[in-house]
Amino acid sequence: MKNILSIQSHVVYGYAGNKAATFPMQLLGVDVWALNTVQFSNHTQYGKWGGMVMPKEQIGSIVEGIHNIDELHRCDAVLSGYIGSAEQVEEIINAFHKVKAENPNAIYICDPVMGHPDKGCIVADGVKEGLINLAMAQADIITPNLVELRELTGLTVENFEQALEAVKVILTKGPKKVLVKHLSRVGKDSNKFEMLLANQDGIWHISRPLYHFDKEPVGVGDLTAGLFVANLLNGKSDLEAFEHTANAVNEVMEQTSKSGLYELQIIRSRDLIVNPQCNYKAVKIA
């Protein structure tokens, strides 16, 4: 069994951060060591929430605690997502280095959540800069959306060709794999939900149905990043992991759309996450 140290947010109500990623990764047979950067009542897109950011010392203390019981060598990957403070970025990098010292084969997956004020996704000052200046160079895999792709590269990325150039730039900055979780309006077809996967062997594009919601569900990127790394740890190739992730997320989005509810319907979709009924295929484009 593979083990992931997943360092991201936790919401008590609804699905975002670890709440959106942990159960799906467990469904794929991966043990998840969830370490929360914040604990909120609900995700920030509601516009109001309770709870608090965890002190940065908690990350190092917990990782050290696992080390002290001689179990850190069993950690196969560190996944980071929503970060509660700028200081936590360095703590996460330190945690990965400690894991790497115990297991040289361990990998770091950075889901570079930078916030989206228009959608109500709020992150603390300095987090974006920490992700750009510290985390990206350390990451084996990075999973930006369109907004984050622009920030990581400093490029405008206003069309599909520019998106391809941007992922190539990221591959020169440290990461070995780039998964663009959502191309949004720079995709090929405005009626589709589109993603990119890039590695040293090329770039692949996949599209699936785009579901329309009165309020866009939150946590889709967290779910996507978690499923992708879980698939890789289970031995799937990059392409196989990419396709399974896209299809499993599609099933969750379809169930969420049918429900008429705001929160992701992950529990309702549990069987479909493991065995998606759809079969969208990626196409190599570069």
Cα–Cα nearest to 236, from 72, 29, 97:
29
- Ligand-binding site membership of 148 (annotated): yes
State the pLDDT at residue 66: 98
Cα–Cα nearest to 275, from 234, 242, 241, 244:
244
Are 197 and 239 a contacting pair, CB within 8 Å? yes
Q: Pull the structure tokens for residue 178.
A: 């780039």
- Ligand-binding site membership of 125 (annotated): no
- Ligand-binding site membership of 181 (annotated): yes
- Residues 195-220: what's their mean pLDDT? 96
Structural domains of the chain sorted by starting position, each given as residue range(s) with its CATH number in brackets:
2-284 (3.40.1190.20)
- Ligand-binding site membership of 222 (annotated): yes
Q: Is a pLDDT exceeding 90 seen at residue 158?
A: yes
- Residues 166-180: what's their mean pLDDT? 98
State the pLDDT at residue 113: 92
- Ligand-binding site membership of 31 (annotated): no
Question: pTM for this one?
Answer: 0.96
Q: Is a pLDDT exceeding 70 seen at residue 119?
A: no
- Ligand-binding site membership of 158 (annotated): no
Sign of CA dihedral 281, 171, 252, 193: negative
123-131 contacts at long range (C-beta below 8 A, 24 or more positions apart): 123/82, 123/83, 124/53, 124/83, 124/84, 124/85, 124/86, 125/86, 126/85, 126/86, 126/87, 126/89, 127/83, 127/85, 127/86, 127/88, 127/89, 129/86, 130/83, 130/86, 130/89, 130/90, 131/83, 131/89
- Ligand-binding site membership of 111 (annotated): yes
Are 72 and 94 a contacting pair, CB within 8 Å? no
